Chain A
Amino acid sequence: MAAETDAPFVVEALSIVKRFGGATALAGVDFRVRRGEIHALLGQNGAGKSTLVKILNGVHRAGSFEGRILLDGRPVSFGSTAQARLGGVGYVPQEIEVLEQLSVAENVFAGQTGLGGRLVRQRVLERQASVLFRELGLDIAPSTLVAALTPAQRHIVMIARALAAKPAVLMLDEPTASLSGAEVDRLFILLRRLKAQGTTMIFITHRLPEVMALCDRATVLRDGRVAAELKRGEFDAGTVIAAMSGQRLSRLYPAHTPPAQSPVLLEIDGLSVAGRGHEQRALEGIDLTLRAGEILGIAGLLGSGRSELLGAIYGSVPYSGRIRVEGRAVTIRRPKDARDAAIALLTEDRKRSGLLFNLPVAKNITIGNLMLFSSGGVLNPGAERAAALRTMRDLRVKAPSPNAAVAHLSGGNQQKLLLGRVLMRQPKILLLDEPTKGVDVGTRSEIYRLIVDLAETGVGLIVVSSELEEVIGLADRCLVMADGRFVDAFERGAGSEERVLRSIAAAQAERAA
């Protein structure tokens, strides 16, 4: 399956230097991709991966950086993403960018002309879209409005959009960050087929197993420079992590034993949530108990109701059923009610429901926590700034300054910033929806450490993640969700990825029968 090692270079980026204001994101990078290979681009948060692919496909226009770009040996300079697309370069950005008020099909073919002349025929679009979706395994009608999709589904729509233009070189910036196991598998089947058809791909990820499963070569960036170039067979976790960080990793999942008889923090009885669109119920009669100091994992596929469950507990999704916090019945109608009950939520989609792009880094951290730095409603700027700096230091948020625009942080640093915001008020119950989405291996183990530390201090945590390995590795108790119900549960050490997948398959088969 490996591409011939002497295939000619299709993409060559030579001596690339990119500065943002005073900060240097890329400091002289040489990056070469051979024809027909899947080339992994690796590195810690903020290493410059996204910046490099943005340069290659015209998001950062020619002239805004130094260095040369060759496609098929010919120098190119893209003034826009549209030019790059015409030049045969496809791009799936890291953050979700969709047109919410258009249908899925329209989103997929947005920006393309020549489909049935000037009159873009809805029918034609939908038929073409459904072909693509079948390949991607996406089970939604092409006429659905994108506004109704979950973040993961939106991501698949973006991948379909890039593929629709049939690019010769396809660049995927963390395409798997919001997908769960089954979707990732389907994506990989598709990418392998594209590769067999001769498409060259650049693939950014923080998940090393994916690199081993899929990629032929890898380039590791560190602080805007190339730290290593590796071939298939050379990328074991040790080598890659050493190249990325210059240090070795200890155990990824820290040990944790939940206290034996700790008080119950959260009790949920018969919780149901109405479904969107055609499905009747997103959640059906969920029961759940969370004890102090416990890490509860919820595993499930995309659309299984995981995010709805967290949303209902947090008051951002209307529900029916009973919720008790520390033995007291509570009615949670809005997020504010949840926060008053010491519940906090880290949301899944940081662009849409996490970051405030009009406020700088420090103020993004403190928003929602201002009661801590104010008296009588008047802010104490010194205390606020100090607290923001402390969070940035503790969580190692890499930012040019506390006053920098959040849009300029790398994805993983944005994630850490949001985690810092959520932790600032010291919640008793912490709901984490994809806590390590887009976070590099080193930071990831820091976040795991943090989760376990919080549990040791008596916080109860519910962790939802698309990565089964992560849920299983972290959770003291793991619940498996399918079609809005729990279909299996097991204690730490008693389950495996295989067991989760089997329970889900069994539940789906039962439902179908």
Chain B
Amino acid sequence: MGTLEASGRIGAPPVSARDRLIRLFAVGEVGVIGALVVVVLFFYALEPAFLSERNIRAILTVVSFVGIIAIGQTILLVNGEFDLSVGSVAGLCAVSSAKLMTVFALPVPVAVLGGVLIGAGIGLMNGLVVVRLKIPAFIQTLGMLFIGQGLIQVVTNGYPVYPLPPSVSAVGFARPIFGLGWSFVFFIVAAIAADLMLRRTVLGRNMYATGGNPEVAKLVGIDTDRYKIGAFMLIGALAATAGMFVMADLSSGTTSIGSGWELAVIAGVVVGGVSLFGGAGTMAGGLVGILLLQVVQSGLVVIGVNANWQQIAVGIIMVLAVGLDILRRRFFIAGGAREDAAPADPSPLRSE
């Protein structure tokens, strides 16, 4: 019955150089991080100003806004769903809280809380419709994207909400670390918390199970509906937070806040190896993906490439990244066996 060989193989797998290489590539983030380094060096070689303090700061500021939402999107994707409405939710929550603190003259913290609650409420609605009515997330959240855009106009009549209370602008102008704003601090703290949650808690592991196969997850006692609805609410609240940080940065509740973010967020995390099919991907990967796309866009600006080409570049990178990821899994993890489309999830491999 092979007890010996069984336990022998389990106990101490010999680690050859080849195995080590395979393991390295099995870590999902290696590809994106490698690409990031190459791209940074490339732009730096062409234009040393690319790595100027100012430019780095500019990149990180944008990353902090989009990244806050990407945290939620990564978690939602791990749970097997995704949200296209984040851009308009961010905008809607920003202008709503702006209205609360100006027209309704509510204290700033209360107005901010109001904005977060609106975001979470929209997330709740998305979640309930997707989970209970079984309407695909694509449809529901695309619908919500339009609804949100409409509501922004309804709330503002098309005019920016301005001026905001001085404390809001104060937050926007503050530079607590390395000349970066509070949005960056929030982003880093939230990212670390979310990463630990995904990798080190029961909650996080159950999310991978939920996204991997909801039927199995239910059978082992996981309330998959709650996980999904919770993830929708979280991304709604995070979108609201990001929207309000931009508002503080601009000192104005502008109607264009968040427009176009939904695609930037999805493209970024997918470049970072978070699977659109659920159950696979890591926080680090998703956020490095966001950074990579931002670096490319900024780099193209710095070396003076026409804006249209930036979009084209983003599109190409996304397709390439996903394509390479599929190849990598096929050759390094499945050992060249083609029928094993079921990918080994990089994150669980990593923690060992």
Question: Is A21 a contact of B215 with CB atoms below 8 Å?
Answer: no
**For the complex, is A358 an interface residue (Cβ under 8 Å from B)?**
yes
Is there a chain B Cβ closer than 8 Å to A378's Cβ?
yes
B342 touches A363 (CB 8 A): no
A44-B2, A59-B339 are known contacts. Are A335 and B218 too (CB-CB below 8 A)? Answer: yes
Complex interface: chain B residues within 8 A of A377 (CB):
201-203
Produce 1/0 per residue, A391-414, CB < 8 A to B: 011001111111111011000000
Is A34 among interface residues, defined by CB-CB distance under 8 A? Answer: no
Tell me whether A403 and B349 are in contact in the complex, defined as CB-CB below 8 angstroms, given that A357-B342, A389-B10, A396-B2 are known contacts.
yes
B16 lies within 8 A of chain A by Cβ: yes
B133 interface residue, CB < 8 Å from A? no
Interface residues in B164-216 by Cβ distance below 8 A to A read 200-203, 205-206, 208-209, 211-213, 215-216
Kindly supply a per-residue 1/0 record for chain A positions 458-481, scoring 1 wherever the CB is within 8 Å of any chain B CB and 0 otherwise: 000000000000000000000000
The interface residues of chain A lying within 8 Å CB-to-CB of B216 are: 353-356
Q: Which residues from chain B contact A355 at a C-beta distance below 8 Å?
A: 213, 216
Least Cβ distance of B48 to chain A in Å? 43
Q: Which A residues are CB-close (under 8 A) to B18?
A: 22
Number of A-B contacts (CB under 8 A): 163
Pairwise interchain contact B9-A400, C-beta atoms closer than 8 A: yes
Residues of B within 8 A of A60 (CB): 337-339
* 403-431 of chain A: CB within 8 A of chain B: 403-405, 407-408, 421
Stretch in B81-89, B219-227, B282-290 touching the partner: B219-227
Interface centre among A20, A44, A345, A370 (most CB of B within 10 A): A370
> Do A356 and B209 have beta carbons less than 8 Å apart?
yes
- In whole angstroms, how far apart are the Cα atoms of A393 and B9 in the complex? 10
Q: Does A209 contact B (CB under 8 A)?
A: no
Given A398-B6, A403-B352: A54 and B342 interface contact (C-beta under 8 Å): no
- B13 with A44: CB separation less than 8 A: no
- How long is the Cα–Cα vector from A21 to B218 in the complex, in angstroms? 33
Inter-chain contacts of A400 with B (CB < 8 A)? 9, 13
Q: How far is the CB of A2 from chain B (nearest CB, A)?
A: 32
Give CA–CA (A299, B6) in the complex, Å.
Answer: 34
Stretch from B52-60, B108-116, B307-315, B328-336 at the A interface: B328-336
Query: Any chain B CB within 8 A of the CB of A360?
Result: yes
For residue A122, CB closer than 8 A to chain B, the reply is no
Docked pose: A257 CA to B119 CA in angstroms: 62
- Which of the listed residues A59, A335, A345, A392 has the most CB atoms from chain B within 10 Å of its own CB? A335
**C-alpha gap A54/B203 in the complex (Å):** 38
Q: Known contacts A353-B216, A400-B9: does B201 contact A378 (CB below 8 Å)?
A: yes
> Would you give the shortest CB distance from A426 to chain B, in whole angstroms?
15
Which residues in chain B, 90-140, are within 8 Å of chain A measured between CB atoms?
none
Q: Do the beta carbons of A370 and B202 come within 8 Å of each other?
A: yes
Q: B335, A21: Cβ atoms under 8 Å?
A: yes
Per-residue CB contact flags for chain B residues 318-347 toward chain A (1 = under 8 Å, else 0) read: 000000000000000111111110111100
Cα A397 to Cα B9 in complex, Å, equals 11
Q: Is A502 an interface residue (CB 8 A)?
A: no
Given A247-B1, A336-B221, also A407-B351 (CB < 8 A): no
Q: Is A66 an interface residue (CB 8 A)?
A: no
Encode contact with A along B266-294: 1 for CB under 8 Å, 0 otherwise. 00000000010011100000000000000
Q: Does B306 contact A (CB under 8 A)?
A: no
How far apart are the CA atoms of A421 and B338 in the complex, in Å?
28
- Of B6, B201, B278, the most chain A CB neighbours within 10 A belong to B6
Selected from A64, A360, A367, A389, the residue in CB contact (under 8 A) with B336 is: A64
Q: Which B16-37 residues have a C-beta within 8 angstroms of A? A: 16, 18-19, 22
Q: Contacts A64-B338, A396-B3, A401-B9 given: A360-B219 contact, CB under 8 Å?
A: no
> Measured between alpha carbons, how far is A180 from B294 in the docked complex, in Å?
59
Known: A339-B221, A381-B351, A443-B1. A358 touches B6 (CB 8 A): no
Sorted nearest first, the 9 A-B pairs with minimum C-beta distance are A368-B220, A357-B342, A358-B212, A405-B344, A358-B279, A21-B335, A20-B335, A336-B221, A370-B202
Sample of 5 further A-B pairs with CB below 8 A, known A54-B339, A378-B202, A421-B220: A339-B220, A368-B219, A393-B6, A401-B13, A442-B1
Chain A contact residues, CB within 8 Å of chain B = 19-22, 44, 54, 59-61, 64, 223, 245, 247, 314, 316, 334-336, 339-340, 345, 347, 352-360, 363, 367-368, 370-371, 374, 377-379, 381, 385, 389, 392-393, 396-405, 407-408, 421, 442-443, 446
